[in-house]
Amino acid sequence: MNQTKAINPSSVSAGQPAAQPSVGAILWIAWFSVREMARRKRLISLALINLLPVLVVGAIRIWFPGEGITAQMQLASLTYDTFIPFLIPIAAMAVGIPAIGEQVEDGTIVFMWTRPIKRRAIYLGRLFAAQIVSTVLMSGSLVLCFMIMVSEGTSIITFDFLKLYLVTFMIIGLGAFTYSALFAAMGTFFKKPVLPAILLAFGWENLVTNIPARVQELSLRFHLQNLIDRPPAAPNDLPGILGALLSTAFNREPVPKIQSVVVLLAVMLIATVVGIWLLRHKEIEK
């Protein structure tokens, strides 16, 4: 029997190989993860769902041209009533939930875990990919909407419209990044995360957003919607009447925009930190 002697840890620490620089690793993982996510079949259904705003804008362009529904009103309403309450959560859910959890569940994460990469870099790379994919999906929809709107004539391209368009991009991006971070953390924590995610996005958010007073501030949707400047609607048209009714009924009190941005960024940050912590303590089962 050959004798063995233990290596003294202190004697090897001087030559300890360093982990990969995190930024490089994050970018490599993100790049391959984007390619992986882009090939998923569910992305096709997601892209089709994201055509909804394009259909609405197209329908308005075809059936109600020049009837007082301005491009700005359309854009603001679509963002407020379609992107924020539905499309952003759905897209973020579809790519955020499986971003990390699925790899842990199917065991393929073992190939990342056995590289000289910190787990936070793996998490951030995967999360970043999910955030990019969900943002790009909705941006594509927004670009198509823009093209249909400007087909009416270049006169609609005013400074205010362009400003609103860019702000809309940013709001959608911020929403996609925040929701994706939240769903990625949920996907890492729960074994079956879909139901809790649906309950959060369409249960809690719906409920809380419609509760009067400051309780509304407990939803991401409220803060995203708070960032939109909806152009004043004519009081006698349908959106105007509905808006006034909702405002009166549910007493949506705006908060300073910077507060909403800070809240969204804080949620994103906390969810990411929690997700990284969860992944650090995760163990391979397969």
Q: Which residues bind another protein (CB under 8 A)?
A: 1-13, 16-20, 25, 28-29, 32, 35-36, 39, 106-108, 110-119, 281, 283-284, 286
| Rounded CA separation 221/171 (Å) | 11
CB of 19 to another protein, least distance (A): 5
Q: Considering the complex, state which of residue 42 and residue 163 has its C-beta at the smaller distance from another protein.
A: 42
**Which tokens hold the place of 235?**
């009081």
Q: Considering the complex, state which of residue 107 and residue 254 has its C-beta at the smaller distance from another protein.
A: 107
Q: Considering the complex, state which of residue 166 and residue 284 has its C-beta at the smaller distance from another protein.
A: 284
CB of 196 to another protein, least distance (A): 22
Give me the sign of the Cα torsion angle 53, 54, 55, 57. positive
CB of 180 to another protein, least distance (A): 20
CB of 118 to another protein, least distance (A): 6
CB of 43 to another protein, least distance (A): 12
| Rounded CA separation 58/158 (Å) | 20
Q: Considering the complex, state which of residue 20 and residue 139 has its C-beta at the smaller distance from another protein.
A: 20
Q: Considering the complex, state which of residue 9 and residue 68 has its C-beta at the smaller distance from another protein.
A: 9
Q: Where are the alpha helices (DSSP H) in 190-256?
A: 194-198, 205-209, 220-226, 238-250
What's phi and psi for 11, nearest 5 deg?
-75, -20
Q: Considering the complex, state which of residue 26 and residue 224 has its C-beta at the smaller distance from another protein.
A: 26
Contact 74, 156 (CB under 8 A): no
Contact 46, 91 (CB under 8 A): yes
Residue at 129: amino acid letter = A
CB of 249 to another protein, least distance (A): 49
Contact 87, 53 (CB under 8 A): yes
**Which tokens hold the place of 5?**
């002697």
